[in-house]
Amino acid sequence: MVSVKSLIGATAALLLSSAAYAADLGGPPPALPYAPPVVADQSAWYLRGDIGVGLNSSSLIFEQNALNDSNFAFDHSSMSDTMFIGAGIGYEVNNWLRFDVTAEYRSRTQVNAFGQYTFGGGTFGDQYQGYLHSLVLLGNAYVDLGTWWCLTPFIGAGVGGAYNTVADLTDVGIGTSGAGYGLNTSSWSPAWALYAGLAYNVTDNFKVELSYRYLNWGSVADSINCIGGCNPDTYKWDNLTSQDIMIGFRWLLQPEATPVVMPQPLSTRG
């Protein structure tokens, strides 16, 4: 007959064995690995600024008043280079496509021209001098072609408009005592541009660009009022174009992504 003492001992052994088995099954879980870094959305708004120099050119057209009759024609005309400064806001859709809108002021550039006409058997001339300045507004799209060693080549195009002003235009007669002055006219004109450049990623949020731009910013015209009175003729600077070299700066408004790591739980095992 089994004694009470033996039964108690067997029961205690069974309980200890079951507890050990349960401890093995219900012990602390294995340490969790680090969570992968949180990758920030690649899209972001940005601000930009640009400075540059433009090598300008245009076609100067003489539009004779219908009340006048002469054979005046330009012999030559010229347009000096100009400095410009601009700013804008844009949106970077992803790491290869972005858009922005920009406004830039193109500083006063000098325009000169000389033309001749014949009258009463003699040949006479007119010397013109004035200034042109512009406000150019563009909506632009760019394609970034990939990044190597923090350098990103890109191409782009833009369309918009320009508000052009002719200022302080004068006409001095050569071989005559005639002279005249312009009306300081301003007008809006369509504008478009093509870009090619290289951006350097100083940080994830700050980039510096060196780029070339071909800009066509339309046309502008002014008339000459003669001292003493005349029927004013019109002079049109048509096909205003520029070969621009630009340095640009872009600041992304979205903060840089910071990896988020889940802490490892403490293990209770020895």
pLDDT tens per residue across span 109-145: 999 999 998 888 888 889 999 999 999 999 999 999 9
Distance (Å, whole) CA 230 – CA 210: 50
- Bin 64: left if φ > 0, else alpha if -120 < ψ < 50, else beta: beta
Percent of the chain with pLDDT strictly greater than 70:
78
How many domains are contained in the chain? Answer: 1
- Residue 26 within any structural domain of the chain: no
- What are the φ and ψ backbone dihedral angles of 15, each rounded to 5 degrees? -65, -40
63: which 2 tokens? Answer: 């539009």
pLDDT in tens, 7-38: 445 444 544 454 444 445 455 555 444 444 44
Q: Which amino acid is at 162?
A: A
6: which 2 tokens? Answer: 């033996």
- Residue 226 within any structural domain of the chain: yes
Distance (Å, whole) CA 36 – CA 218: 53
pLDDT level of residue 269 (50, 70, 90 thresholds): low
63 is in which domain, residue-wise? 49-134+149-235
- Residue 257 within any structural domain of the chain: no
> Which residues are CB-contacts of 91 (< 8 A; sequence separation ≥ 6)?
43, 44, 45, 46, 98, 99, 100
Q: How far is CA 266 from CA 30, 34, 50, 101, 170, in A?
A: 10, 14, 54, 53, 86
Q: Element (H or E) spanning 22, and its range?
A: helix 4-26
Q: Which amino acid is at 54?
A: G
- Residue 125 within any structural domain of the chain: yes
Q: How far is CA 244 from CA 55, 57, 160, 220, in A?
A: 6, 12, 17, 20
Residue 109: CB atoms within 10 A of its CB come to: 21
pLDDT level of residue 248 (50, 70, 90 thresholds): very high
pLDDT at 186 over 70: yes
pLDDT in tens, 35-59: 444 444 556 999 999 999 999 999 9
Distance (Å, whole) CA 142 – CA 158: 9
- Residue 96 within any structural domain of the chain: yes
Opening angle at CA 130, ends 127 and 131, nearest 5: 155
- Residue 44 within any structural domain of the chain: no
- Residue 255 within any structural domain of the chain: no
Distance (Å, whole) CA 138 – CA 151: 25
141: which 2 tokens? Answer: 């799209």
> Whole-angstrom distance between the N-terminal and C-terminal Cα of the chain?
44
